[in-house]
A = this chain, B = another copy of it.
Amino acid sequence: MKIETISEQRCFDGVQGFYRHESHETRTAMRFAVYQPPQVRHGPVPVLFYLAGLTCTEETAAIKAGAQQHASQHGILLVMPDTSPRGAGIDGEDEDWDFGSGAGFYVNATMAPWSNNYRMDAYVAQELRSIVVETFSVDSQAIGIFGHSMGGHGALTLALKRPDTFRSVSAFAPICAPMQCPWGRKAFQGYFGGDQALWASHDATELIKAGHRAGPILIDQGTEDQFLAEQLSPAKFEAACQEYGQALRMRMQAGYDHSYYFIETFMADHIAHHAKCLQEIRSGRSS
């Protein structure tokens, strides 16, 4: 497994790096970003995956989210994958901003022609996770996940499906019930066809109803988010969590929209949430 370093730059006493490799899941070259906090010099650190939203890349959060300072403070290594395969050679893959490239939705597509490359679920949770564990000084048993919008959907669903892999979870303005919104229906129809059971297995609200559980969930949602009413459905997810006993702290943030100005405002709280959850796991293991 060959990982090519694109760049490494000092940031908050750690290293912000960008890397490229040939993925066996997506059968394309994939890029990802990693922030190594200064604490890696002294031993393995917890890991936190950040999944970005529609149209974003591995650069977006590294540049805009202001996460490195808090990862540096708490000693957490950040992993920021791209949002889809790029250059898979599929007809029309770059035509829509909400489907295909930049819009992988963190699922393993089952429909041709997407199924050959659009395997972002397996890519993030298995392949990239393995690469990070083998390449960096990390504690493979203390991995959390969070994300924004489509990436918030990805974080919730991956954590609910794999609670033993992703031990802490949070989201900014996530797509909470993709089966019930235009973005989600378009993506699921394209990647899965009409199989509603498959749709439900990638819908955070449906996963809660089906008995899946994750660690305590933190969600921040802006009240002035331009996508709140049509696409995000936090109330549906909150109701399901309440009915089925999933711990959730849903914070409606007055005046905030869907942008990284919103995300960076609450980034400190999210990384503190993960640091606390992952520290409890590490303490429990050692005691």
Name A's B-contacting residues (CB within 8 A): 9-13, 16, 63-64, 66, 68-69, 222, 224, 255-257, 259-262, 264-265
- Bound Cα distance from A264 to B71, whole angstroms: 14
A255 CB contact (under 8 Å) in B10, B69, B259, B265: B10
* Interface hub of A10, A66, A224, A257 (most chain B Cβ within 10 A): A10
A264 CB contact (under 8 Å) in B13, B69, B224, B255: B69
Also in contact, A224 and B257, with CB within 8 A (given A66-B264, A69-B66, A264-B69):
no
A261 and B16 contacting across the interface, CB-CB below 8 Å: yes
A63 and B64 contacting across the interface, CB-CB below 8 Å: yes
* Interface hub of A12, A66, A259, A262 (most chain B Cβ within 10 A): A66
Which residues of chain B have C-beta atoms less than 8 A from A255's C-beta? Answer: 10
Chain B's nearest CB lies how many Å from the CB of A192? 35
Chain B's nearest CB lies how many Å from the CB of A15? 9
The dominant DSSP class at the A interface is mixed
Tally of this chain's copies? 2
A9 and B63 contacting across the interface, CB-CB below 8 Å: no
- Bound Cα distance from A77 to B177, whole angstroms: 39
Also in contact, A224 and B259, with CB within 8 A (given A63-B64, A66-B66, A66-B264):
no
A9 CB contact (under 8 Å) in B12, B64, B261: B261
B224 and A261 contacting across the interface, CB-CB below 8 Å: no
- Bound Cα distance from A16 to B117, whole angstroms: 39
B66 and A257 contacting across the interface, CB-CB below 8 Å: no
Which residues of chain B have C-beta atoms less than 8 A from A16's C-beta? Answer: 261
B12 and A265 contacting across the interface, CB-CB below 8 Å: yes
6 pairs across A/B with beta carbons < 8 Å? A9-B257, A9-B262, A10-B265, A11-B261, A12-B264, A63-B64
